[in-house]
Structure 1
Amino acid sequence: MTADVSSSRLSPRRGARFLLSTALALGLGLSLAGCKTSAEKAEEYYQSGLQLLEQGDVDRAIVQFRNVFDIEGTHYEARKTLADTYRAQGDIGQAYSQYLRLAEQYPDDLATRIALARLAFDSQQADEFVRHATRAQEIAPQDAEVQVLDLTRRYREATLAEDDKARASLGEEAARMAQTRPDDPMLMGILLDRAANARDLDEADRLTARLLELQPDNPQRYAQRLALLAERQDKPAIEAHLRATIAKFPDNDQAKADLVRFYMSENQPDRAEAFLRDLAEAAPADDPAPRADLVRFVEMQRGADAARAELDRIIAEGGDPLLFRTLRAGFDFRDGKQAEAIAEIRSVLDGVTEPTETSLNVKVQLARMLVETGDAAGARAQVDEVLAQNASQPGALKLKALWDIQEDRADDAVLALRSVLDQAPQDAEAMSLMADAYDRAGEPDLARDYLSQAAAASNNAPAETLRLADRLMSEERWRPAEDAILPALRRTPDNLDLLGALGRIYLSMPDLPRAEGVITRLREIGTDQATAAADRLDLARLANQEGEAAALAYLEQQANAADADIGAKLSLIRAQLASGQAPAALKLAQDMVAADPESRAARMALAMTQAANNDLPAAREIFTALIAEKPDDLPPHLALIRLATQEGKLDEARTLTEQGLAALPDNPDLLWSKAGLAEREGDIDGAIAIYDQLYARDSTSIIVANNLASLLATWKSDDPAAVARASAVARRLKDTTVPPFMDTYGWIQHLNGDSAAALPYLEGAAAALTQDAVVQLHLGVVQAALGKTDAAKAQLEKGLEMLPEGQEGQSITAAREALARLNAPAQAGEAASNGTTGGTTGGTAGEPLGDAAPAAGQATN
């Protein structure tokens, strides 16, 4: 049976559906065929970037690699290629950032860790180097690259630890590795350090030259090469190298300054000036710095008048009047025309309608001038105005930080200085101030670190270097102190302060041959100051090497020489008095006066030796005559006051002090004397007021700080504001090992509720100051607060037995009450529950006893 044709036809509605479905299917098929996955798009950008790199179009290649991350942020190959590209271009910051992102995404990727470690090492990021080198070691300890990193890390640790034996062994290991990796910069760096220590200048020459070939864009390699050439005294090569450095790094101000110093060391000031003039002429109009450098050089070489003439020329040629008139005013200020200079700068600023970077800098300069002239309020007003216009202006922030430090707001100073260093990471002045701030905050390790950074940032300038060296010497870290001074001496080889410090370091090591070398160098310089410095070092060398008798013989030889001046004789007298040879000192002083009866120095020496020989009336007569002749001469005043105090004549000492202050108003030494006398007589408020005055004038004095804090904590312990002030002033005493300072700091810790922290300080103070009753009582009170009942009883009884008859005071009363509570704890507890303690402290065994503070006599002179 045939099918009915009509039954096989599609109805119009059904046909339309079929066609629609087909069209959708075809359309969907076409759409799927033309669409790429995210991975495919990312790969296309990556391949495009590679092609652009091959064609040398680095900028567009970088754009393509970054496009990859918009689609696929974890694309390893693109991220690594981008990091490698930045590294090849010398953009170390961007390279490091990309490698770091890669390390976050692929923490076990060895190549990334190696790259990060090497970049961190080259950019002197020590902590980052150690972090990535350590991780690489964990991932693949047998990898040759990793072994180099690990060796470098261990060599660095041995250097920091001053472990010469370990350094030598690791240096030999580096030499073995270098046989198969002769051009590895890290190994070459170790070998260079080893060659420098061995004074193998030929090997150092080879290494620095090769490192410069391998890393021609690394400024450190230029500095290393310069140091080698300076060591070899290859002067033509030094000049050529400095000019090559400037050509390679046109913005390297240090290289320019080094070239100027080189010309000056060669006695070629004309060439130095010509070089600076070339820089000034080549500088764009909106860069006044080279012209300013030229002006300063002209002033240094030919004086202020020549510099003023140079400034007049620059101003006439269109130089920025705001800057160059301010410079001219600076010369006037230094010449003593302070009022005129300040008026000139104010006049210049009157023409400023909108604040600019230059105008704000000029206002800061005006503030510095006002500080120097004693107008602190005016200076602060200028700084406030600058900060209102630009809250992050570096110069104003540094002045504000300085004032914060002086007023014991160390934390505020640190915040301000961090802002400065965020803008200018190599600001040596900010780093020095940061060291001061951390000193005030009782953080000596951080302070030392910033002193080291300041010395490096200043390119080993003498001032910053000496601050660092002095700190290291005070900690008896002789080798690091030497390492700090030697680079500075290479730049300024005839600097007497640096040479003197180096000589003292060698004497302290001891390294007598090298100390003698410094003495010889000072004598070669030959100026009066250099000779005097050599004599001082020679004397110390003799004392160290041959003893006190040899040193005295040396002084006698100098004093008896035909051309001996009075200084040599006075040095001998001081040494004789210090060694107990008072009769010999008296004889020499008498001879000096007989030779020159009008000499004030000789008469002063005679009076001092008379006092040492117990002829007090004769000494007093000379001191009194010297004062009558010249009332504003300080030493005779102090000597008379000292005599009266030694004899227990406190009324006379007070009268003499007032007489001295009448002739020398506000003299700090006389004020110090007055404060001590006030303290002895029980005028504690008067003594605090004087120490406050002294502290306001010079808050850097640690002794003034100790005494002020001690008195505040002693006599104002019930005043929270006074205790807070004492705490702020005494923060710098943290970690002190000076017994009186330990007592002050420990007691303040106790008053602040931290008796556990106070205990080791007070134990140390009590062990050293065994005859000071109040120090013993402090320890006992703190032991009681910590529940050390038996020890506290014994300590308090000991301290009370030591007290002179009739001596009383708040701390003594508090100690008696503490002992009473320990002896009768039940009665004390019952009285406390009834609210009738009857004492002034109100403390318990676990609380600080507010009034149990140190007696005034604990303040240290």
Structure 2
Amino acid sequence: MVSKSVTLASALTIAVLVLGGCDNAQQREAKYKARGAGYILDRKFDLARVEFKNAAKINPTDPDVYYHLGLIDEAQGDVTNAIANFSRAEVQDRTFVPALLKIARYHLAAEQIEASERKVDTILSVQPDNADAHALRAAQKMRRNDPVESEREARFALARDPANVGAISVLTALQVARGEAASAAATLDSGIARNPDEIALLLMKIDMARKANDLQKVDAAFHSLFRVLPAERVYRADLADIYLKAGRIDAAEAVWREGIAAAPESWGMKQDLIAFLDRNRGIEAAEAEITRYIAASPDQSELYFWLADLYIAHDAPDRAVHLLEKVATTEKFEPQGLNARASLARIQFAQGNRAVTEKLIAMILEKNPTHPDALFMRAGLNFDQGRYQNAVSDLNEVLRDRPRSPEAKQLLAESLLRLGSLDRAAEVQAQLVDIVPQDNAAQVRLAQILSAKGETARARATLDRVTRTNPDYPVGWESLARTAITTQDWKTAEMAIARLDGLAGQTLPAAFLRGEVEAATGKPESAIARFAQVATADPATPLGERALAALVRAYAGLDRLAAAATYLDSLNSKSSFVANLRGETDLALGKRQAAEAEFEKAVGAGGGRPEPYLNLAQLRLNDHRGDQAIDVLRQGAAALPGNDRIALVLADSLSQLGRPGEAIAVYTQVLERNPSLDTAANNLAALIADFQYADPEALRLALRVAERFQGASDPAWIDTLGWVHYRLGNVPEAVSLLRRAVAVGPVSPQMRYHYGAALIRANMKEQAKLELRAATGPGQSFPGIEEARQLLASL
């Protein structure tokens, strides 16, 4: 939230500059800053941003400019950019106190206490009596479990600024912790009297009333907050929920109706009331409320979508379709007509009518290529088909129109993960957490991505926040245990598992995690017993499947795979997963025929996994039954059209079996779906350069997909690009790239052939002889070896 006192002080400073004698550049900067500060006070943040950016162009080293840009970001909910701008202000002036205070607060909120303390040290070195810095020091001491020093710092701050919100908050918290309820209430009431509109203090008042279980005081505290934030829906939802839990449904409904009376233009508040009625009064009450809104505002087309969503939620899609088709017919291709078609597409997709969904989306995008709902739906379709790069493109377009869409952010993060872009996925997931900080699942997912990146400290800090603020959220404890197991922090793992085990319905997840700890700490027999306990309960669940896989690994570590096979047989399961695992066990035991039968059973059972197809195909390839392997892989590609693993193995197998044309077709399809796959790009370009170099169009495609390897470090990829240039007749480029590939190494005979051929074209025949002799030595075999021998003979 923007601090008005800081902004007003800045505005006064700017006014003095404007009135004083300055050169023209200084005057212009001051005017931009003065206007920007005024816009911030009026909450016209976009206009304020323009003014401060203009000021930055005149004086790019002014820390105050970046500080105010950070305030704007903060007010608009963009915490990531806010911190970046506060940090830019600090770069310009290492002792710029307003920015240091902001950064210190963010460090403290992220549990980075030492970093926060360093910023406060810097502030106090230049302003020893700064009340805000001492209030922050009080909060730091409280986090350090030093209540004596914490209170001393808080009282020091209050002596210099009796209205200091941070110091009031810390002192109140300390008094609550000591059980001094009356003193805490007095401190807080005094603070609110001095800061009647301060949200943080009003929220503390609510929290204290809730802990005292005094519903009357809770209501009064919330209504003090509503006076300041009449249109804020989140807090009304909290109070309504409190009344619901107390069995007072009429009072809960009144909370929403009072909110609508206080903010009659808030359609979001009305939508919240409808959701409340639907959950607690039934579809008839919700439908009646929407109908009243439609009667009062017949031109508000959005209301028809609310009604359609209500019908969909109650499994009445036909009523929703009828309503939406009416809107689509009436509005045709006006915005609401397109929105109606988007809602129809969503219904069709939910019903499994993919072709109809795609037709509706195409119709919308033909009329409006940037329609966000249609683009989001298309991104979802692309994601389901494994076209992750296409999904990313659509989602980026959606986010240009709706930069704070949680759904788009979540799907974008998952798409980036599938593309292997862990850094970008973590960045997007962090943005999602900023947008919906109360979403536990989003925070846990961020921690999982950070852990996959190797940033276990950040992952741990994120999970610590989740488990501290939501101790009854089982996924938080489970993820914390997994992170601790990864880092071999057995003490934390045991603590997290114990907390998980204490929650209802979490006995089996806790047992599985204990088994993982035991397996990793040299107790395989105990681990096997744990995994069997979990798997026997229900081997068809994801947890049961993980337990089965872990059980087989533990038996393998003891060289007792036969016992694992016996256990799997005892399950009498018909699942694809169990059959595939049984096949892998048989294969490890040398029972190839039995393994093949199990893999065939797994393929026949379906299940949506690539492993049975890949295992069966590999077994047949190893037995020199290439055509049968190809049949299995094609079957898998048809069953799992978005799975790149199957497609890449299929293309590679076709290439090895001497069917380059078919391999090229598969690689082309893979790259159309997922253009970022470097392996597919390399193999496609190499095959074209080896087998379709007489086709100019194919060579142009090869160059387009291989150009990404211009700065590559992998010699094979550099070689591919160089060979494509050779086939195109670009001799200087070919020689340069192929020379670099050979220099980087390791060097294959085929790479020497490519380099030698390019050297001949460059009239460097003596060196070409050396390369071609090395390429065609005894026992060598590669695509093009006969051409290499002919070239050598021609020299």
Specify the code of the residue in structure 2 equivalent to 1:687.
Answer: A
SS at match of 2:437: coil
Percent of pairs with identical residues: 18
Superposed displacement of residue 456, structure 1: 0.8
Mapped partners of 2:411, 2:567: distance in 1: 50
Q: Distance in 2 between matches of 1:688 and 1:621?
A: 31
- Contact in 2 for aligned 1:712/1:722 (Cα 8 Å): no
Structure 1 contact 276–294 (Cα < 8 Å) conserved? no
* 1:678 aligned to which of 651, 654, 659: 654
Contact 1:400–1:413, Cα closer than 8 Å, also in 2? yes
Aligned twin of 2:177:
none
Which residue matches 2:97?
148
Specify whether residues 665 and 326 from structure 1 end up closer, same or farther in structure 2 by C-alpha distance, changes over 3 A only: same
Q: 2:480 corresponds to which residue?
A: 502
SS in 2 for 1:614: coil
Cα 1:576–1:87, aligned 2, differ >3 Å: closer, same or farther? closer
Q: 1:493 to 1:756 in 2, by over 3 A?
A: farther
- CA distance in structure 1 between the partners assigned to 2:125 and 2:458 by the alignment: 28
Alpha-carbon distance, 1:180 to partner: 1.0
Map of 1:348 onto structure 2: 327
Structure 1 residues 800-839: aligned runs within 5 Å: 807-809=781-783, 816=788
* Residues 1:252 and 2:209 are matched in the alignment: no
Alpha-carbon contact 2:36-2:49 (below 8 Å) kept: yes
Structure 2 residue 286 is the aligned partner of structure 1 residue 310:
yes
**Partner residue, 1:475:** 453
Contact kept, 8 Å, 2:474 with 2:500, in 1: the verdict is: yes
Q: Is the 8 A contact 2:169 2:201 kept in 1?
A: no
Deviations 1:459-498 (A, max 9, x none): 3534543553333222211222334445555675544444
List per-residue Cα deviations over 1:577-635 (Å, max 9, x = no partner): 4764586232343356468599998776555433321123344456667888x689977
Structure 1, unaligned stretches of length 5 or more? Answer: 1-52, 138-145, 828-861
Change (3 A) 1:441 1:345: same
Displacement, 1:250?
3.0
Q: Contact 1:596 / 1:602 at 8 angstroms: preserved in 2?
A: no
Closer, same or farther: CA 300–710 of 1 in aligned 2, 3 Å: farther
- What's the TM-score, normalizing by structure 1? 0.63
**For residue 714 of structure 1, what is the amino acid of its counterpart?**
A
Question: Aligned ranges for residues 427-576 of structure 1 at < 5 Å?
Answer: 427-432=405-410, 445=423, 448-462=426-440, 464-487=442-465, 493-527=471-505, 530-544=506-520, 546=521, 549-559=522-532, 571=547, 574-576=550-552
The answer to whether the aligner puts 1:326 opposite 2:278 as a matched pair is no
Describe the superposition over 1:150-197 as per-residue Cα deviations: whole angstroms up to 9, x where unpaired. Answer: 75598699999999766555455556777511235xx64576466446
- Work out whether 1:653 is the aligned partner of 2:610: no
Number of aligned residue pairs: give it. 713
Cα separation, partners in 2 of 1:382 and 1:564, compared to 1, 3 Å: closer
The verdict on how the C-alpha distance between 1:216 and 1:550 changes in structure 2, with shifts beyond 3 A counting, is farther
Structure-2 change in CA distance of 1:198 and 1:347 (3 Å): farther
Which residue does the alignment assign to 1:395?
373
Q: Which range is displaced more, 155-164 or 320-329? A: 155-164
1:711 matched residue in structure 2: 683
Q: Residue 354 of structure 2 aligns to which amino acid in structure 1?
A: G
2 CA distance for matches of 1:162 and 1:658? 52
Instruction: Classify the secondary structure of the residue corresponding to 1:472.
Output: helix
Q: 1:632/1:75 Cα in 2 relative to 1: closer, same or farther (>3 Å)? A: closer
Deviates more, 1:581-590 or 1:72-81: 72-81
Equivalent position of 1:830 in the other structure: none
CA distance change for structure 1 residues 809 and 397 in 2, over 3 Å: closer, same or farther? same
1:180 matched to which residue of 2?
129
Moved more, 595-604 or 510-519: 595-604
Q: How does 1:537-616 map to 2 (within 5 A)?
A: 537-544=513-520, 546=521, 549-559=522-532, 571=547, 574-577=550-553, 580-581=556-557, 584-590=560-566, 593=569, 606-616=582-592
Of 77, 85, 100, which aligns to 1:128? Answer: 85
CA pair 469-109 structure 1, distance change in 2 beyond 3 A:
closer
SS in 2 for 1:315: helix
Kindly tell me: are residues 150 and 766 of structure 1, through their superposed partners in 2, closer, same or farther at Cα, counting changes over 3 Å? Answer: same
- Contact kept, 8 Å, 1:747 with 1:758, in 2: the verdict is no
What TM-score do you get using the length of structure 2 for normalisation?
A: 0.67
For residues 248 and 709 of structure 2, what CA distance do their matches in structure 1 show? 48
Range with bigger deviation, 676-685 or 112-121: 112-121
What is aligned with 1:274? 253
Structure 1 pair 169–243 and aligned structure 2 pair: CA distance change class (3 A): same
Inter-partner Cα distance in structure 2 for 1:505 and 1:574: 17
| Distance across 2 between alignment mates of 1:292 and 1:561 | 43
CA distance in 1, matches of 2:65, 2:316: 61
Residues in 2 aligned to 1:235 and 1:731: alpha-carbon distance in whole angstroms: 67
From the superposition, tell whether residues 250 and 484 of structure 1 become closer, same or farther in structure 2 (CA, over 3 Å): farther
What is the DSSP-based 3-state SS (H/G/I as helix, E as strand, rest coil) of the residue aligned with 2:331? coil
CA contact (8 A) 1:174 1:191 kept: no
Q: Which residue of 2 aligns with 1:207?
A: 166
Query: Is the 1:712–1:723 contact (alpha carbons within 8 Å) kept by the matching residues of 2?
Result: no
Bigger Rg, which one: 1
Q: Within 2, Cα distance between the matches of 1:470 and 1:428?
A: 18
CA RMSD of aligned residues (A): 6.2
Residue 524 of structure 1 and its aligned partner are, at CA, apart by 1.7
Equivalent position amino acid for 1:362 in 2 = A
Unaligned residue ranges in structure 2 (runs of 5+): 1-7, 155-164, 171-190
Query: SS in structure 2 opposite 1:183?
Result: helix
What are the within-5 Å matches in structure 2 for residues 57-206 of structure 1? 74=27, 116=68, 119=71, 123=75, 125-136=82-93, 146=95, 148=97, 168-172=117-121, 180-183=129-132, 188-189=135-136, 192=139, 195-196=142-143
Distance change in 2, residues 1:724/1:322 (3 Å): farther
**Aligned amino acid, residue 126 of structure 1:** I
| 2:622 partner letter | Q
User: Structure 2 matches for 1:382-421, cutoff 5 A?
Assistant: 382-384=363-365, 387=368, 394-396=372-374, 398=376, 406=387, 408=389, 416-417=397-398, 419-420=400-401
Residue 378 of structure 1 and its aligned partner are, at CA, apart by 1.7
The 8 Å contact of residues 444 and 476 in structure 2, kept in 1 or not, is answered as yes
**Equivalent residues in 2 for 1:758-797 (5 A)?**
none
